[in-house]
Amino acid sequence: QDYCGEFGAAIWRLPLEGSSAAVMDDGRNGGEQVEKVCSLDGRCEGDPQIPGSPVPGLGSQMWSVIWAPEDDSRIVTLVDNHLYLWDIEAAGKSAKVVGEVTVEGRGSVSLGCGRWYPHQLGSQVAATHGSCVRAWDLRSMKSSWSVEGAHVQLVRDLDFNPNMQYYMATCGDDCKTKFWDIRNTQQPMKELSDHSHWVWSVRYNASYDQLVLTCSSDQRVILSNLPSIASQPFGTMVDQEESSKEEKEK
């Protein structure tokens, strides 16, 4: 038996907070349905008269959809070896492609996980590409930096330090988590080998960047404390506040 799947991405409208919930036939309260308002292929659900900008190859695998952290009118999608920058109408009813990057390489290596760089006014996006990490400046749609051979095998995920520019974490199928300064990518600043199988995800704590979470198919989730590569060690602010209180009491 043959199986087929459909790939794509869309923008959905969630019910407003506090809105009345629908009542199901059996008396249970059911939440309101989410509404599909726009497909990220150039077609508008609300108004079919809006032509949009169809994206070639959207029947292929859509790997990542990334909303800009400080600008809800911009979205990046990763489709096979293509990066598309979208401009979203204020009401979210239509979307059009305003920039495109095609990554050339050996074989059919696709772009994988993507992350919007949270610094420098959100002008860069990075994505995994096989064993490498690549980044582009969205103002020019040109390459800005790369980490060649970041891992011996496939890079599964990446994340940027929310408090320090240039600092990035990666993880991969070599069971390692690595920390980089993207200004000098010859070797990582730090390397962890705590997992015994593929590391699928890595995340910085949004407030305390010395805390890093990783998960792996070795069935473990590990929280690491890394003050040597953090902007400010956890507890420093508390210590400073306590010292100030003691000085005032004196």
3-state DSSP of 94-154: CEEEEEEEECCCCCCCCEEEEEECCCHHHCEEEEEECCEEEEEECCCCEEEEEECCCCCCC
- Write out the H or E segment, with its range, that includes residue 76: strand 74-79
**pLDDT at 58 > cutoff 50:** yes
Q: Is 218 a domain residue?
A: yes
The pLDDT of residue 88 is 87
CA 234 to the chain's CA centroid: 25
Better-scored residue on pLDDT, 248 or 187: 187
**pLDDT at 238 > cutoff 70:** no
The pLDDT of residue 18 is 64
The pLDDT of residue 45 is 47
The pLDDT of residue 54 is 54
Task: Determine the structural domain holding residue 211 and report its residue range.
Answer: 161-250
For the chain, give the percent of residues with pLDDT over 90: 54
User: CA-CA distance, 127 to 135, in Å (whole number)?
Assistant: 6
Q: Is 65 a domain residue?
A: no
Better-scored residue on pLDDT, 139 or 245: 139
Average pLDDT, the chain: 82
Q: Is 58 a domain residue?
A: no
Residue 139: exposure state from Cβ atoms within 10 A (0-12, 13-18, ≥19): exposed
In the block, tokens 């988590």 appear at: 177
Q: Is 151 a domain residue?
A: no
Q: Is 68 a domain residue?
A: no
**pLDDT at 31 > cutoff 90:** no
**pLDDT at 33 > cutoff 80:** yes
Domain count, the chain: 1
The pLDDT of residue 42 is 55
User: CA-CA distance, 46 to 35, in Å (whole number)?
Assistant: 10
Instruction: Tally the C-alpha atoms within 13 A of residue 243's C-alpha that lie toward its C-beta.
Output: 6
For the chain, give the percent of residues with pLDDT over 70: 74
Q: Is 172 a domain residue?
A: yes
Q: Is 17 a domain residue?
A: no
Q: If you average pLDDT over each of 96-105, 110-119, 240-249, which comes out highest?
A: 110-119
Which whole number is the average pLDDT over 173-180? 98
Q: Is 217 a domain residue?
A: yes
Which whole number is the average pLDDT over 61-83? 88
Closest CA to 151 of 183, 175, 181, 127: 175
Task: Tokens for 154, please give them.
Answer: 């496939």
Which whole number is the average pLDDT over 34-51? 63
Backbone angles phi, psi at 237, to 5 degrees: -65, -40
Lowest-pLDDT choice from 106-115, 124-133, 180-189, 221-230: 106-115
User: CA-CA distance, 33 to 78, in Å (whole number)?
Assistant: 27
